[in-house]
Amino acid sequence: MAHKERVDVYTIPPNFAKEGTILSGRVEARNAVEAAALVLLLFQLLMAVDLSVKGKIYAGIIVILPVAIFAVIGVQGESLTSFIFQFFCYLARRRTLTVPNGQYRLKRNRRIRKQQKKQYRRERRQAKRKGGGEHRKRSKGTKKEAERRKARREERAKKFEEEAQRRAETVQRTHEGGSAETPRG
């Protein structure tokens, strides 16, 4: 008889050998310290309020208990203070999208033209390396050929301007519609 290999699978609990935790890895020490400090502060405030004993008990259960639980659990794996710090940093650094002005559009169009020229030069260099008739010098040709070349250049320039205008209109419509996303073109 052939013996089948038996593979034992052992699952390792997430709290195994985790540093900085208390209560068998269920609570992080930082969260527990923050919760204790917060509860102590709120308890001092509660004792200063002029309420009956019954009112103070109810207020403590309604206010202090949920805050303590929230501080012990944390927010998405972070402690409460680090979450609050990151939230205020976000508020200070957030950006808003606005409609691009004419100067931005002008610079953007220049940058796009420059990139297109670079791409064209790169393609020409690659064609030269490959060899073939593309890179050979040609005579100027007749007037008719020169006019065709000029017409092609003008057609390409017109197509580029139409594309730039279409993109600008798309961005304008997007921003007027209130969407925070920029179009991909």
Q: pLDDT of 61-109, one tens digit each?
A: 999 999 998 888 888 878 888 999 999 999 998 887 788 888 988 999 9
The Cα-based distances of 6 to 1, 3, 9, 26 in angstroms read 15, 9, 10, 33
Contact present, 72 and 31 (Cβ < 8 Å): yes
Lowest mean pLDDT among 75-89, 125-139, 161-175: 125-139
Mean of per-residue pLDDT scores for the chain:
83
Together in a domain, 103 and 173? yes
Closest CA to 59 of 70, 75, 46: 46
Distance between CA atoms of 47 and 85, rounded to whole angstroms?
28
Tokens coding 172? 């304008």
How many separate domains does the chain show?
2
Note the helical H segments in the chain.
29-48, 53-59, 65-73, 80-93, 102-130, 143-176
Residue 120: inside a domain, yes or no?
A: yes
Together in a domain, 104 and 45? no
Domain that includes residue 79, residue range: 21-93
Distance between CA atoms of 29 and 141, rounded to whole angstroms?
83
In this structure, are strands 21-22 and 27-28 parallel, antiparallel, or unpaired?
antiparallel
Residue 10: inside a domain, yes or no?
A: no
